[in-house]
Structure 1
Amino acid sequence: MKILHVIPSIGPKRGGPSKAVLAMVKALRECGVDTEIATINDNGPYVLDVPFNQRIEYEGVPVWFFSKFSPQIQRFAFSVGADKGFIFSTDLTRWLWQHVKDYDLIETHYIFSYASTCAGIFARWQGVPYVVRTIGQLAPWGLTQSRLKKQLYSLLIERHNLNNAAAIHCTSASEAEDVRNFGIKTPTITLPLGVNQPIYLPDAKQKLHYLYEIPTDTPVVLFLSRLHYKKRPDLLVRSLGQLAAQDYNFHLILAGSGEPDYIDDLKNLIASLGLSSQTSFTGFVTGDNKQLLLQGCDIFVLPSFSENFGIAVAEAMAVGLPVIVTPGVQIAPEIAEARAGLVVEGEEDTLANAITQLLKSPELRQQLGKNGQNLANNRYSWNAIAQNLSTAYQSILAQKSIHK
């Protein structure tokens, strides 16, 4: 069984989805599935310095990279993919046409994107079964972004791709429901994403407080995601502004990259609320720096409008960090059921009250953190997920054989 995963970008600046596909392919290979990635050298506003048109080892998995074509033209023409953009590559197009038939099955990641659309069309034309991972883009909030362009793209291309797929790969029950609400009848596979077992850092709290010059008795609130209006760090800042006015003791760390204008707006908001001395910006973090934040902070908050899974939330739970999320994070029902965190509506007062609960009660923080760690260990194991995904692939290929 030879599988190809196609995604517009696996650049680290693209965040969770890029990281997830690398981990997914690595886990599949460890389960004995011959799996590769085809992608473009996109990395947000930058490009990856990688060889083109050849299979290389990247982050421990085999990847084919192809050159990104004309960022200016792509932005002007087809920015239907909201955050990813319609990243075009002539070389990828040519390679997919020539090599899709070399694989038993294709899995595409992201809809409303050139690479995934192209792979789906070529797979269909050449009789190769394909699976589509929508990555939350059929959620109601996602469909309102670039709405008219997405409606046109769906009418001309995307609905046909989705309806003719062998399966739609969803990561939560809510995402599967969004697929149905979009009118797609294709069978769904619902499997969560996974998290790698963390390497525990000794004295993480002490190191974090020292590094960011935070008093040792001050609880630290962590936002770790892209600094983007979809993720609503501004809502978190305004909620903390209420608490600061009531003399609550806390420090906020905003970890992630974003557009300079948006970051400037955040800094202005923070200054207007008198939170500048209680806030640190880290920029984009990875590796040990990321683990230091996850293991050294006291509360994790992601008040996102829409999040098909929320890999950073699962990573926080994996190290026992209590989380606060909004219903737009699609694993929120699992978090609520396991009492692994607090799920609250995305309103300023409601979020402020939830943070207050955890600031007041170290015991509640500890219990929620323990429950979250159990949830992550039991449900978000990459090995188990890869085994189940491999079984799903085998079922699809067996079904294809029956119909031959």
Structure 2
Amino acid sequence: MKILHIIPSISADMGGPSQVALNLVKALRDIGEDAEILTTNYGMGEVKTGDRQEYIFDETLGLSVPVWFLPYDPPNLKEFIFSRAATGWMWQNLANYDILDHHYLFSYLPTCAAAIAQFKKIPYTVRTMGQLTSWALAQGKTKKQLYTTLFERRNLQNAAAVHCTANGEAADVQGFGITTPTITLPLGVNIPDEIPNAKQRLRQEYNIGTDTPIILFLSRLHYKKRPDLLLRSLADLKQSNQPFYAIFAGTGEPEYREELVQLTTDLELTNDVIFPGLITGDDKECLLQGADIFALPSYSENFGIAVAEALVVGLPVVITRGIQISPDIEAAGGGKIIEDTQESLTEALLTLLREPEKRLEIGRKGKAFARETYSWSAIAQQLATEYKKICYANKP
């Protein structure tokens, strides 16, 4: 099959969805499928545009996939990313593919691709990326209602399938009034090489004492992820005389980052918290393998790639029920699933900080669960089977 994944941007600043597209296309190619990516150069620096190129997305492991980068038209909205060049390219080239896989809602590239696909009778699937949760739909509600009326509902209804990563996401699709068949498959995570001295190396890097537990927040600095709630819980830990050091690794809008830095100062946490920015590659693996607890008190996540990355290296996670894979993690005993409150978060963190043996046990369970469940190879095989069913059903 010739498969095209369409995503507005694969910039690291766009968070987990970029990694999903890159790793899934790599996994599909590894099992013999001819998969590519169409995207824009938004957030990509000096990347070459116009021609298909082999894009290296993980220099440490030497991982690459074929990508078509088309120039976007500034000024632009991060969520929308309009591109006249991509529009023309899609009219000329989409019919060369057997099936399309669209990432994101409420964004120009997948919206335009869906319209062209319907006109040219090309089957396509849609990934809602958690954008149909009640919380997500409440953000920019008026704009999303208008966009839904004009484009999105029609595009979802005319898709061959909607790809969901958890049962909760499939329920959100149905709750939105969409009757299109859903495919529920989790996303995958790469199993990294073990870094034997990760804990020592991480403590040396940030000058952390050997007996001080490290709490890791590894995600975009965005109010949806609730880093502010975590900071307030850290202040509770400090008041209870519980030692810790917290690393908030990720990028975000400069204004919001400054708000978090100011909150850190107001809560008298400047000696206990650091914001190192975006961490990638080997340094990111060292963070995951060297930390003691992973915390993500997000309002809403359809999957949470960073959560799976933490689990796969045996890092116990503390997450909210808004993360839609939380029921599976809870059943596996791989983490603490909390209510969306400061009190609940503080209690979970205190329990894990004060009981290191419990931390290790939870980490072991989470690691076994993640390595069995979140295999890119197995997921790619299952997805390829679904693609083939769709292509067969759409043959004249």
Q: Which residue of 2 aligns with 1:180?
A: 174
- Count of aligned pairs: 389
Q: Mind listing any 5+ residue stretches in structure 2 that lack a counterpart?
A: 57-63
Secondary structure at 2:192's aligned position in 1? coil
Cα deviation 1:240-282 (Å, max 9, x = unaligned): 1011011111111110011222111111111122111011111
After TM superposition, list the pairs within 5 Å mapping 1:202-213 onto structure 2. 202-213=196-207
Coordinate RMSD, CA, aligned: 0.8
1:135 aligns with 2:135: no
Written as runs of structure 1 = structure 2, the 5 A alignment for 1:189-268 is: 189-268=183-262
Q: Distance in 1 between matches of 2:390 and 2:258?
A: 49
Aligned-pair CA distance for 1:136:
0.6
Please identify, of 192-201 and 387-396, the stretch whose mean Cα deviation from structure 2 is larger.
Answer: 192-201
Q: 2:372 aligns with which of 375, 378, 403?
A: 378
Relative to the length of structure 1, the TM-score reads: 0.95
User: Could you tell me how far 1:339 is from its partner in structure 2?
Assistant: 0.5
Aligned residue identity for 2:127? R
Counterpart Cα distance in 2 of 1:201 and 1:247? 31
> 1:263 & 1:289 partners in 2: Cα distance?
21
Indicate yes or no: 2:108 matched with 1:104.
no
Q: Match of 1:53, as an amino acid?
A: G
Aligned to 2:17: 17
- Does residue 67 (structure 1) correspond to residue 64 (structure 2)? The answer is no
After alignment, is 295-304 or 262-271 more displaced?
262-271
Equivalent residue, structure 2, for 1:41: 41
Structure 1 runs, 4 residues or longer, greater than 3 Å off: none
Matches within 5 A, 1:358-377: 358-377=352-371
SS in 2 for 1:154: helix
* Distance in 2 of aligned mates of 1:127 and 1:274: 60
CA distance in 1 between partners of 2:299 and 2:379 (Å): 26
The equivalent of 1:52 in structure 2 is: 49
Q: Contact 1:255–1:283 (CA<8 Å) still a contact in 2?
A: yes
Output aligned runs, 1:322-401, within 5 Å.
322-401=316-395
Query: Which AA in structure 2 matches 1:242?
Result: D
Which residue is equivalent to 1:299? Answer: 293
Q: Deviations over 1:188-221 (max 9, x none)?
A: 0111110001111121101111110111000000
Q: In the alignment, residue 369 of structure 1 is paired with which amino acid?
A: G
- Is residue 279 of structure 2 the alignment partner of residue 275 of structure 1? no
Identity score, percent: 53
Deviations along 1:308-333, one digit per CA (max 9) or x if unpaired, are 11000000000000000001111101
Query: Which residue type is aligned with residue 40 of structure 1?
Result: T
Residue equivalent to 1:320: 314
Q: Aligned letter for 1:245? A: Q
Report what 2:143 is aligned to: 149
Distance 2:286 2:72 in 1: 34
What displacement does 1:367 show?
A: 0.8
Structure 1 distance, partners of 2:364, 2:373, is: 14
SS at match of 1:9: coil
Deviation digits for residues 88-129 of structure 1, max 9, x if unmatched? Answer: 011000000111110011110001000000111101100110
Higher alpha-carbon deviation: 34-43 or 263-272:
263-272
Displacement of 1:48: 2.9
Q: In structure 2, what is the Cα distance between the partners aligned to 1:36 and 1:259?
A: 30
Partner of 2:59: none
- Secondary structure of residue in 1 paired with 2:300: coil
Q: Is 2:1 the partner of 1:7?
A: no
For the Cα contact (< 8 Å) 1:41–1:48, is it kept in 2?
yes
1:381 and 1:358 map into 2 onto residues whose CA distance is 27
Query: Secondary structure at the residue paired with 1:42?
Result: coil
Distance 1:175 1:399 in 2: 25
State the alpha-carbon separation in 1 of the partners of residues 253 and 102 from structure 2.
27
- Name the SS for the 2:37 alignment partner: strand
The corresponding residue for 1:81 is none
Shift of 1:160: 0.3
Tell me, yes or no, if the aligned pair for 1:11 and 1:48 is still in contact at 8 Å: no
Counterpart-to-counterpart distance in 1, 2:74 and 2:204 = 44
Q: Secondary structure at the match of 1:21?
A: helix
- Alignment-derived partner of residue 115 in structure 2: 121
Determine the C-alpha separation between the residues in 1 that align with 2:197 and 2:39: 39
Q: Give the match for residue 78 of structure 1.
A: none
TM-score normalised by structure 2 residue count = 0.97
